[in-house]
Amino acid sequence: MNQTVSEFVKELQAIVVEENATDDPAICASYSRDQHWHFVPAKNPAYVVRPANKEEVRQVLMLANKEKIPVIPYSTGINVRGLTIPVHEGSILLDLSRMDRIVEINPEMKTATVEPGVTFGMLLEKTRKYKLRPAFPDAPLTVSVLVNYYLRGIYQTAAADGHDHVLSYEMVLPNGEVIKTGSRSLSEMPYFRYGVGPDFAGVFCAHPGTCGVVTELTAKLYRLYDNRKVYFIGFDDANTPINFLHNLMHDELAASIRLVDNQSWLKGICGTFDYEYEKLPKFVACILVEGLDEIFEAKDKLVSEYIKESGGGVLDFPEEFKRTFEEESLGGAEKSCMVFGLRGNYHCIGLYGPLKLAGKYYELHERTALEVGIPEAYIHYYVNPIYSFHGQLCYFELDIFYDGSDLEFGEKLRNYNRKQFQRLLDLGIYGWFRPYAGIIEPTVERIGYLAEVWKRFLKVLDPNKIMNRGKLF
Ligand SMILES: Cc1cc2nc3c(=O)[nH]c(=O)nc-3n(C[C@H](O)[C@H](O)[C@H](O)COP(=O)(O)OP(=O)(O)OC[C@H]3O[C@@H](n4cnc5c(N)ncnc54)[C@H](O)[C@@H]3O)c2cc1C
């Protein structure tokens, strides 16, 4: 602990006790960068504060608001897009990882209520015994459930789960007021999203930055089934599988669907590097079928029929590949990190759009990457249809796996981004995975008066602009 603590640190320490507030440069430096250093320059926060509960969060926010000091909430801090890296000098990094209580698992209601520091791994361990699971992103099990859902960036490894997992939450605003969304605002029962008035749970979510600090969130849990079957189907191009995927989604047959290229994600999904992936067809559809006994059998029969008409060939992978894909989709797995093993670093543009554009998104990805000098072998792709498929909703990922120590490559990626954001907006997308810096600026230019309303809305909640300030407005 720093020997010469400033008056301001003393005020912070009076709230969270001495050991949980510091301006020690060595500790602050450990929060200064993430994997996206090619895009988001490293910067130290001036203070790191680690509150233990909602009341401490409230007091820190009120103090910061009074002094107009920017606050960056940080739950597990894994975000790979610079979202917890300070923009301004003198910021407080509010590390919420001590707030890691699973407040409630309610198997009757199929819900879990968690604090920011609860990870997917922690939650799964507790829900599994009820044959329930949270909806998983394709992220490590060590990331925050609350933040993942609050950022609303989750895309579905389980096609059957849908997109919205948040039922309600409570959030502390910079002025110290606590707001509760959905049925939480009326009762002690936090189980319904649309309790009263507008859908405030949606309105406060997914800003570039945040409106306040979410201290507790209630989320949906989903069934775990015993009957499961996995198929891997190879295709030579990204257009042929479109009809097949459309049929599976339209008839609600598969629990998890991913179309990936034969490298990168397939290695991540299958969990091994000891396989000649490069000899496989260029694209592989990974399909998981599950359900109660007779329902499962009926679904599986229909899936097998669609596979025959798909234009692709069933790949005979080892059993362990199948098990890993099951786990990755429904039970969480650490395997997704293995994709980094390909070249060390991973850059992606994540977006939502209709399945019918899958081929076009891939063509554009390839064209722009080659134009800026990215080698063909570094170009990867990922399509994930999302239940219930209205608007043919899919998550797409235009990926580049690269060596992060290659500084020239960083310039290529920045060129790629500049061109590709505009081109994708011109081609047509539903929205971006997350509103991270760089991507959001050209986007707000296209949303008309909504941008103005958005700015004013944030000003009402955060007039002193302390919440993750500088990320956009
Ligand atoms: C290998 C890898 C793969 C991934 N794949 C996926 C994926 O497939 N799908 C997906 O959805 N995500 C994916 N992610 C991202 C990951 O799921 C999210 O980053 C995570 O769920 C959120 O936790 P975090 O630690 O990143 O949050 P943090 O880094 O702590 O915070 C992220 C943002 O939320 C804000 N914030 C943090 N806590 C709060 C709070 N309590 N209240 C208000 N604002 C807050 C922060 O200020 C910051 O802006 C992946 C990450 C990795 C490393």
The model's pLDDT over 419-464, given as tens digits with 9 standing for 90+, comes to 999 999 999 999 998 777 678 888 989 999 999 999 899 999 999 9
Taking the CA of residue 212 as reference, the ligand 1 atom at the shortest distance is: 43
Task: Look at 192 and 337; give whichever has higher pLDDT.
Answer: 192
The distance between the two most distant Cα atoms of the chain, rounded to a whole number of Å, is 73
CA distance 276 to 217: 43
138-195 pLDDT, tens digit each: 777 889 999 999 987 666 656 667 788 999 999 999 999 999 999 999 999 999 999 9
Given pLDDT bands bounded at 50, 70 and 90, which one contains residue 114? very high
Report residue 145: phi and psi, to 5°: -65, -50
pTM of the model: 0.93
CA distance 266 to 339: 8
| CA 227 to ligand 1 center in whole angstroms | 31
| CA 396 to ligand 1 center in whole angstroms | 18
What pLDDT, on a 0 to 100 scale, did the predictor assign at position 436? 72
Whether residue 314 has pLDDT greater than 50? yes
Phi-psi region of 72 (alpha: psi -120 to 50; beta: other; left: phi over 0): beta
- CB–CB of 207/453 below 8 Å? no
- CB–CB of 378/400 below 8 Å? yes
| CA 230 to ligand 1 center in whole angstroms | 29
Taking the CA of residue 35 as reference, the ligand 1 atom at the shortest distance is: 53
143 closest CA partner among 299, 336, 413: 336
Given pLDDT bands bounded at 50, 70 and 90, which one contains residue 63? very high
Q: What is the DSSP string of 14-40?
A: HHH-GGGEE--HHHHHTTS--TTTTTS
Residue 454 burial by Cβ neighbours in a 10 Å radius (0-12, 13-18, 19+): middle
Question: Which of these CATH numbers, 3.40.605.10, 3.40.50.2300, 1.10.3720.10, 3.30.465.10, describes 102-223?
Answer: 3.30.465.10
Whether residue 340 has pLDDT greater than 90? no
> What are the start and end residues of each CATH 3.30.465.10 domain in the chain?
102-223
Whether residue 113 has pLDDT greater than 60? yes
Taking the CA of residue 346 as reference, the ligand 1 atom at the shortest distance is: 1
Whose CA is closest to atom 43 on ligand 1?
Answer: 213
Pocket of ligand 1 (CB under 6 A): 72-80, 83-84, 96, 116, 137-140, 143-144, 146-148, 150-151, 153-155, 210, 213-214, 336-337, 468
- CB–CB of 76/148 below 8 Å? no
Strands 92-95 and 111-114: unpaired
Residue of 61, 93, 119, 147 best suited for mutating to test ligand 1, as the one with most atoms within 8 Å of CB? 147
> What are the start and end residues of each CATH 3.40.462.10 domain in the chain?
231-432
CA distance 118 to 27: 22
CB-CB neighbours of 243 under 10 Å = 14
Going by CATH, does the domain composed of 231-432 fall within 3.40.462.10? Answer: yes
225 closest CA partner among 140, 307, 128: 128
Given pLDDT bands bounded at 50, 70 and 90, which one contains residue 1? very low
| CA 432 to ligand 1 center in whole angstroms | 15
- CB–CB of 382/265 below 8 Å? yes
Phi-psi region of 110 (alpha: psi -120 to 50; beta: other; left: phi over 0): left
Q: Give me 133's structure tokens.
A: 């699971």
For 256-286, letters b (16+ CB in 10 Å) and e give bbbbbbbbbbbbbbbbeeeeebeebbebbbb
Distances (CA, A) of 125 to 118, 373, 423: 11, 45, 43
Whether residue 273 has pLDDT greater than 70? no
| CA 186 to ligand 1 center in whole angstroms | 29
Whose CA is closest to atom 35 on ligand 1?
Answer: 73
| CA 30 to ligand 1 center in whole angstroms | 17
Residue of 58, 148, 348 best suited for mutating to test ligand 1, as the one with most atoms within 8 Å of CB? 148
Residue 93 burial by Cβ neighbours in a 10 Å radius (0-12, 13-18, 19+): buried
- CB–CB of 190/182 below 8 Å? yes
